[in-house]
Amino acid sequence: DIQMTQSPSSLSASIGDRVTITCRASQDIRNSLAWFQQRPGKAPKSLIYATSTLQTGVPSRFSGTGSGTDFTLTITSLQPEDFATYYCQQYNIYPLTFGGGTKVDIK
Amino acid sequence: EAQLLESGGGLVQPGGSLRLSCVGSGFTLSTYWMTWVRQAPGKGLEWLANIKQDGSQKYSVDSVKGRFTISRDNAKNSLYLQMNSLRADDTALYYCGRSHVVDLWGQGTMVTVSS
């Protein structure tokens, strides 16, 4: 199975900060990488697919880059509603696998 | 507005069975791959299984193969997860999702496996 490793596992940031989360795959997954946001007590929300394509309605302060094994999610100018846990997922090879998550909380 | 609504969760003894259902509304479920994902208490997301539009292809994670079966009834706009031989480590919130790369999530249904 492909292992997805996210770093950091948690971070503290302030409103307006730029935040970058990294996701590394144990083998080449091309650009088959998605990002999800999960607020406490809520269902996940889909943010990005195909590494960099925003789902409908996702604010442009979210962006994704990468290819192969190394990917990043960047949030420019962090907003109060962005404090959440973020997960990456590869969908290139079965079984599909998620990263362990990155919790973004308030500094 | 497109929505997914799961049901069928509950408390079950180890070795028991449950059937989860997921009903879609506001969109035509038959045109999408559908997915099940779970989340154990305080843990991350775990992809479980998905199924093609016509049910002709199904994939699942090894930990549930032979125990869980994904199926669908497009006429009822519904997705199912039959769970047999349940174990304590199957305790989780179970989500259904629309599409191979989930773009719409349900609110989840809780399954607790305990004696």
pLDDT tens-digit profile of A38-60?
Answer: 999 999 999 999 999 999 999 99
pLDDT band of A90, cuts 50, 70, 90: very high
The structure tokens listed for B40 are 């154990």
Is residue B17 within 8 angstroms of chain A, CB to CB? no
Q: Please judge whether B102 and A44 are an interchain contact, meaning their C-beta atoms are less than 8 angstroms apart.
A: yes
Chain A residues with beta carbon closer than 8 angstroms to that of B50: 96
Interface of B with A in 73-112 (CB under 8 A): 95, 100-108
**DSSP string over chain A:** ---EEEE-SEEEE-TT--EEEEEEESS--TT-EEEEEE-TTS--EEEEETTTEEPTT--TTEEEEEETTEEEEEESS--GGG-SEEEEEE-SSSSPEE---EEEEE-
Task: Quote the pLDDT of residue B52.
Answer: 98
**Mean pLDDT calculated for residue range A77-106:** 97
Report pLDDT for B34: 98
- Residue A83: the pLDDT is 94
| pLDDT digits 0-9 by tens, B5-36 | 999 999 999 999 999 999 999 999 999 999 99
The rounded percent of chain A whose pLDDT value lies above 90 is: 98
**Which residues, given as ranges, of chain B have pLDDT below 50?**
none
Residue A96 in this model has a pLDDT that exceeds 90: yes
Ranges assigned E (strand) in chain B: 3-7, 10-12, 18-25, 34-39, 45-51, 58-60, 68-73, 78-83, 92-98, 104-105, 109-113
Closest CA to A75 of A6, A13, A4: A13
Which class for B26: exposed (0-12), middle (13-18), buried (19 or more C-beta within 10 A)?
exposed
For B45, other C-beta atoms within 10 Å of its C-beta total: 24
Q: Which of A55, A89, A99 sits opposite B103 (nearest CB)?
A: A55
Is there a contact between B61 and A95 (Cβ–Cβ < 8 Å)? yes
Q: What rounded mean pLDDT belongs to chain A?
A: 97
pLDDT at res. B32:
98
pLDDT-derived band of residue A107, with 50, 70 and 90 as boundaries? confident
